[in-house]
Amino acid sequence: MLVGLIANPVSSKDIRRLTGLARVIGIEEKANLIARLLVGIGSVNGVTVMSVDDPSGLVRRAVTLAGSAAPPVAYLPIEVEGSESDTRTGAAHLAGMGAAALVTVGGDGTVRSAAEGWPMAPLVPVAAGTNNAFALTDEPTVVGLATALAVTGAGDAFTPTTAVEVQTAEGRALAVIDAVVVRDRWIGTGAIWDPTQLVEGLVTSSRRTAVGIASVSAALGPLAPGHARWIRFGGEGSVRAVFGPGLVLDVAVADHTDLPIGAAVSLDQEAGLVALDGERRLPAKGGTVRVVAGPRVLDLERAFRSL
Amino acid sequence: MDIPKEHLVDMYETMVKIRRFEERIRELYFADKLPAFDIAAGLIPGEMHLAAGQEPVAVGMRPHLKAGDAITATHRPHHLAIAQGVDLNKMAAEIFGRETGLGRGKGGHMHLFSVEPNFGCAGIIGEGIPVAVGAAMAFRHRKTDNVALSYFGEGAANQGAFHESLNLAALWKLPVVFVCEDNSYAISVPKTASTAIADNSDRASAYGIPGALVANNDPVAVYEAMGEAIARARRGDGPSLIEIKTDRLWGHFEGDADAYRSDEFKTAMNEHDPLATFGKRLLDEAILNESDIASIQDAMHAEVEAALEFAMNSPYPAPESALEHVFAGRSE
């Protein structure tokens, strides 16, 4: 069985290392993390890995580190640019090759790019980002083993998620956690660390352990599966949220409502940007956001039950 | 974050000024060195290292500076000196080796020293990094809230002085920001052939200080990152390391055949020219209109020409002044 692998060498390095207590996850630590993942995958017979060959040689370092415990690893014959387009392109190729699972190593942005390339991917998102609102934060060796069991075993160990489709004048984009209008007019470093910049948006998560805008949603109560939460920020009321690593903030919330898959909202904005999964990205003017079915995510417990 | 319009316009104006200065220096440098390239000949003798493409690194810090802040730079210093507000006339005169220059014509383009603003640069790789730490120590001693900014390339981050400087600055919590301009090439050596790790910003954690990567050559991204780092240093929270991925549009030095970089690499760089990109963005956001852009270009070009005129019309230092300002306490 084929497992796809896309690792982001630049996740966990942006300005949030200065605006909060976000840590750097350097290349060597990521390589170690991927090596442990590979050892987990390699412990089950019959699984091969096809990876995007990033310019930093991140996956190659990991393969060397894992040694003979790694499964067979090959590299996609695609041009890599050293940008997030590599993730989208790689995911699309792996979909075409019939990969049984797509492992991403990075942050929420990495997951988002992978989902844009393969919208209904059976995802195994390994956390190596700043907020990791979407990713699995379990020990990578365990995640690797669970992935191999999931793709070689009977049954379906992947759980459906909800996502947000964003349509603007610049085209279509996908967010796996949140698509939120911010007052900023400049993409800059992309990161969001000031909740007073939030205007309104859709959030697909209410997981209490999530960090970022998802934490704001969680503070507003549980969210039913197949729904996303429309939140209008500002006003008099507020909730306490873990807005980032080392950042517990009171975030002003004026209003919220839960919307099912298929519901759409027009962004009534003249200025500002739409931030996708915590990254400033697209002009908000004239945009629409829609609740859609998202990628599937590995359920570790169900994977181990297939043993 | 809300960015004041005046900061955006100022950054763009400064980018235009830097690019024009580098273009004109390049023209004048080559004008009388050909057909056989004689590095000692002509208006500007010696080597020349120009920073076209690296303008965002310089202008992004500019709005956050205050009087008295210190900057140390490298053999490729013009963009940083211009951004800090070094006297353009005296800077040009120094490059031309004239008596009216910052160093009375005795230092040249790699040795631009200004007292106000506090700017210095030199051609020894990594030399300026400990000097910036020293400046930060002085600010601490004098109890000011000034900061020191140390600029160096990705190759210099492999020098011992880099590591010693980060360690001491971290240990003593000094008000210094270390800024790595990563243009991917140390002369002709790609970073992948010189550096064991992929990103120098990762090295910050080894010294217990924050490190951040600015992955795109964008003045607003640099503005955000440098704003946070400078504010952190100014309020006494200590040093940080910022790594900025930037593009050196031209060769390492003027006269460099630049054959070690592929045509595809160079084409891609030029397609993402930060000056054109930022100008278009300002138009799209209605910060500036076409007429504003034209006015800025005219104004900046005129300022550059005036500086070059000043330089070319200035006298050379007299031969008998050769030993002046060389030895301390020497009166003749």
Please name the residue of chain A whose CA is at the shortest distance from the CA of residue B219.
A188
pTM of the predicted structure, to 2 decimals: 0.93
- A-B C-beta contacts closer than 8 Å: 82
Residue B332, pLDDT score: 52
Q: What CATH code is carried by the domain that includes residue B19?
A: 3.40.50.970
Q: Is the per-residue pLDDT at B330 higher than 80? A: no
Interchain proximity B225–A26, CB inside 8 Å? no
What are the φ/ψ torsions at residue A175 (nearest 5 degrees)?
A: -125, 135
Residue A184 in contact with partner chain B when CB distance is under 8 A: yes
Residue A185 in contact with partner chain B when CB distance is under 8 A: yes
CA dist A96 → A121, A136, B307 (Å): 11, 25, 60
Please name the residue of chain A whose CA is at the shortest distance from the CA of residue B200.
A26
Residue A307, pLDDT score: 63
Q: Which of A79, A3, A70, A2 is nearest to A36 (CA)?
A: A70
Q: Quick one: pLDDT band at residue A288, thresholds 50, 70, 90? A: very high
Positive or negative, the Cα torsion across B330, B91, B67, B227?
negative
Gap between the Cα atoms of B266 and B187, Å rounded: 15
Q: Is the per-residue pLDDT at B246 higher than 60? A: yes
Interchain proximity A26–B3, CB inside 8 Å? no
Which tens digits make up the pLDDT trace of A102-126? 999 999 999 999 999 999 999 999 9
- B84 in a structural domain: no
Residue A195, pLDDT score: 95
Residue A23 in contact with partner chain B when CB distance is under 8 A: yes
Task: Tell me the pLDDT of chain A averaged across its residues.
Answer: 94
Q: Is the per-residue pLDDT at B217 higher than 60? A: yes
- B120 in a structural domain: yes
Gap between the Cα atoms of B78 and B57, Å rounded: 12
Q: Where are the beta strands (DSSP E) in B215-258?
A: 240-245
Domains, chain A, in order of start with CATH, read 2-160+296-305 (3.40.50), 163-294 (2.60.200)
| Percentage, residues of chain B above pLDDT 90 | 90
The answer to whether A260 and A159 are in contact (CB under 8 A) is no
Q: Quick one: pLDDT band at residue B45, thresholds 50, 70, 90? A: confident
Q: Quick one: pLDDT band at residue A305, thresholds 50, 70, 90? A: confident
Interchain proximity B202–A24, CB inside 8 Å? yes
The answer to whether A3 and A143 are in contact (CB under 8 A) is no
Residue B331, pLDDT score: 57
Interchain proximity B198–A13, CB inside 8 Å? no
Q: Quick one: pLDDT band at residue A269, thresholds 50, 70, 90? A: confident
The parent domain of residue B112 ranges over: 5-79+90-314
Note if the bond before B4 is cis, omega within 30 degrees: no
Gap between the Cα atoms of B205 and A17, Å rounded: 10
Q: Quick one: pLDDT band at residue B32, thresholds 50, 70, 90? A: confident
Residue A189 in contact with partner chain B when CB distance is under 8 A: yes
Interchain proximity A19–B197, CB inside 8 Å? no
- B308 in a structural domain: yes
Least confident of A60-74, B155-169, B315-329: B315-329
Interchain proximity B213–A57, CB inside 8 Å? no
Residue A271, pLDDT score: 79
Interchain proximity B218–A188, CB inside 8 Å? yes
Mean pLDDT on A242-264:
96
Q: Which long-range contacts (CB under 8 A, 24 or more apart) does B194-198 make?
A: B194/B154, B194/B155, B194/B158, B195/B154, B195/B157, B195/B158, B197/A26, B197/A27, B197/A28, B198/A9, B198/A27, B198/A56, B198/A57, B198/A58
3-state SS class at B323: coil
- B181 in a structural domain: yes
Q: Quick one: pLDDT band at residue B39, thresholds 50, 70, 90? A: confident
Least confident of A175-189, A241-255, A266-280, B196-210: A266-280
**Minimum-distance CB partner of A13 among B213, B229, B232:** B213
Q: Which of A35, A22, A37, A196 is nearest to A126 (CA)?
A: A37
The answer to whether A158 and A296 are in contact (CB under 8 A) is yes
Counted domains in chain B: 1
Q: Quick one: pLDDT band at residue A157, thresholds 50, 70, 90? A: very high
- The gap from C-alpha B310 to its chain's centroid, in whole angstroms, comes to 22
- B323 in a structural domain: no
CA dist B61 → B14, B64, B288 (Å): 11, 6, 21
Identity of the residue numbered B61: M
- Token duo for residue A133: 């609102």
Gap between the Cα atoms of A205 and A105, Å rounded: 20
Task: Tell me the pLDDT of chain B averaged across its residues.
Answer: 95
Which tens digits make up the pLDDT trace of A166-179? 998 888 899 999 99
Least confident of A252-261, A269-278, B307-316: A269-278
Gap between the Cα atoms of B181 and B242, Å rounded: 9
Mean pLDDT on B116-144:
97
- B325 in a structural domain: no
Q: Kindly list the strands in the beta sheet with B118-121, ordered across the sheet, starting from the edge strand earlier in the chain.
A: B118-121, B70-73, B148-153, B176-182, B240-245, B211-214
Interchain proximity A18–B213, CB inside 8 Å? no
- B247 in a structural domain: yes
Q: Which of residues 245-304 of B touch A (CB under 8 A)?
A: 281, 285
Helix (H) or strand (E) holding A229: strand A227-244
Q: Which of A295, A121, A133 is nearest to A214 (CA)?
A: A133
Residue B34, pLDDT score: 77
